[in-house]
Amino acid sequence: MDEQLLIMLSIMQGSGMLAPVLFIMFHVVRQFMFIPVVLVCMAGGMLFGSILGTVYSMTGLMLLSALFYFCIRKIPRTHEKLMRIKHRWFGPYVKMTVGQIAVLRLIPFFHYQLLNVCLLERRPDFRGFMKGAFATNLPLAFFYTIFGEYITQFSPGIATLIVIALFILFYLLREKIVTIKWHDFFSHTSV
């Protein structure tokens, strides 16, 4: 584990009643320390148990999603950069479904805020975005909080099979129709 995460965990263990509040706030600031969401959710399971760890992780992730929704429009360069990455990885015409985003959140090395941009593209209003954020964050918080201790004991072969299964599930949950604008279609084919 990362040293910053270990320091924060020891602070939370000694903080008593403030530990849940500190843990929820840690979900918001962990992105600036480059600590993956997966590690924080696993730590929540170790600190608070399965049920409370999931509740606290969901609260922190929903707070982070709401903060993202209000801040991303005020930082257009970051939004453009995330959209360029999305276009490079998934193509310019792909709009991921909520199910696909939920599956990609389960894969530890996918960028959390990039998936938030994909969700924002699918559901641009605040209420829809937050419903989508809840639906995509719940499997992440639940899976890594409850099964976090067991995941670390998996062999590399089992871990690889799980990631391959998640990619297959991602493919199966894709949107089957792609809409390309008339102008975009003919601008690439004309000489």
Q: pLDDT tens, 110-159?
A: 888 899 999 999 899 999 999 999 999 999 999 888 876 566 567 788 77
For the chain, the average pLDDT equals 83
> Helices 126-146 and 37-48 meet at what angle, rounded to 10?
60
Q: Which domain holds residue 11?
A: 3-189
Euclidean distance between the first and final Cα of the chain, in Å? 54
Across 7-26, b (16+ Cβ under 10 Å) vs e yields ebbeebeeeeeebbeebbeb
Which burial class, exposed, middle or buried, applies to 177 when counting CB atoms under 10 A from its CB (0-12, 13-18, 19+)?
Answer: exposed
CB contact set of 163 (below 8 Å; sequence gap of 6+): 107
Number of domains in the chain: 1
Identify the band that residue 81 occupies on the pLDDT scale cut at 50, 70 and 90: very high
Task: Check: CB of residue 47 under 8 Å from CB of residue 40.
Answer: no
Each residue of 99-119: pLDDT tens digit?
889 988 988 778 888 999 999
Distance CA(91)–CA(160), nearest Å, equals 25
Question: What count of other Cβ atoms lies within 10 Å of the Cβ of residue 139?
Answer: 14
Output the six-digit token pair for 79: 């939004």
**Taking residues 68-91, what's their average pLDDT?**
90
| Across 7-21, 22-36, 90-104, 174-188, least confident range | 174-188
